[in-house]
Amino acid sequence: MGILIDKTNKVVIYGISGKYGSNQVGGMLEYGTDVVAGINPGKGGQEVHGVPIYDTMAEALSKHRINTAIIYVHGLGVKDAAVESINAGMKLVMIATEGVPLHDMMYIKNLAREKGTWVLGPNTIGVINPGECLVGSLASGYAQKGPVGVVARGGTVTIEMIRMLSEAGLGQSTCVGAGGDKVLGRNLLDYLELFEQDPETKAVVLIGEIGGQKENECSRYIPQMSKPVYFYLLGRTAPEGARMGHIGTIIAGESESFAAKRDLARKAGAVVVDTPWHLISLLQEAGIA
């Protein structure tokens, strides 16, 4: 099963005709994802990789069944695209764009909760259910089906973790890049709750970062879980006071530091690891396969 996506997802892409969007849709189509339409105002009637483009969501819906939207547009255009998608009844909206204006994202998040839409991102590389569906560009060449759920804030580290898991014979149920911006449509905790309910997932790999409270929220939930959580935290060598790559990695207090987050997770019952290789060896020793 896995979480969030499967073969039934029918995808529309905002910004499909841009260089980035065009590259992304090619990869998704190659993986087998059912990309049925694109939206680019003023470019209706054109095609990208054989996918028809429409000026609005309403036009796309008049021609296709759609339940998933991906947004590859500039930050100032994200709100309009997301609101249009949510009001159209999309079950999943992925926002790839980095640096969405804070108040725009707060509005999107609240509207999505009200309407029952799951918003992934912003600043996300996407989600993959190996062998079934790829929404975004998350490690399609590495992911293999199996029992390990993966969720992380960053994209590159998620790809590398998937590669290492697969090479070690540890397949994945679903892998998610939750997003690197400060305000996310759904926090790490929300994905832990989905993995806990998923019968295919036997263990969860949680990759966090210094800064913010998202990992600490997870630590308050982990004692309620029946499945083991393997926690790998980035930022051990980050210089004090430095701003790292993601907007969400700014440390505002001691509870958001590397040591504090690891300590809280360990006390919650998570298996706290020092390196990806340490994580792999512990999963193998536990017989997760």
Give catalytic residues, as residue numbers. Answer: 246
Query: What are the E-state strand segments in the chain?
Result: 10-14, 34-39, 47-48, 51-54, 68-71, 92-95, 118-120, 126-129, 133-136, 145-152, 172-177, 203-209, 229-234, 271-273
Q: Compute how many other C-beta atoms are within 10 angstroms of the C-beta atom of residue 86.
A: 20
At a CB cut-off of 8 Å and minimum separation 6, what does 155 contact? 124, 125, 138, 177, 180
Closest alpha carbon to 69 in 91, 54, 51: 91
Return the bridge partners of 127, or none.
Answer: 135, 176
3-state DSSP assignment of residue 49: coil
Token pair, residue 285, equals 């020793």
**How far apart (Å, rounded) are the C-alpha atoms in residues 164 and 158?**
10
Residue whose tokens read 């360990």: 266
Helix (H) or strand (E) holding 57: helix 57-63
- Tell the residue number behind the tokens 């049925």, with chain if given: 36
Backbone phi, psi, residue 15, to 5°:
80, 30
Q: Are the C-beta atoms of residues 102 and 119 closer than 8 Å to each other?
A: no
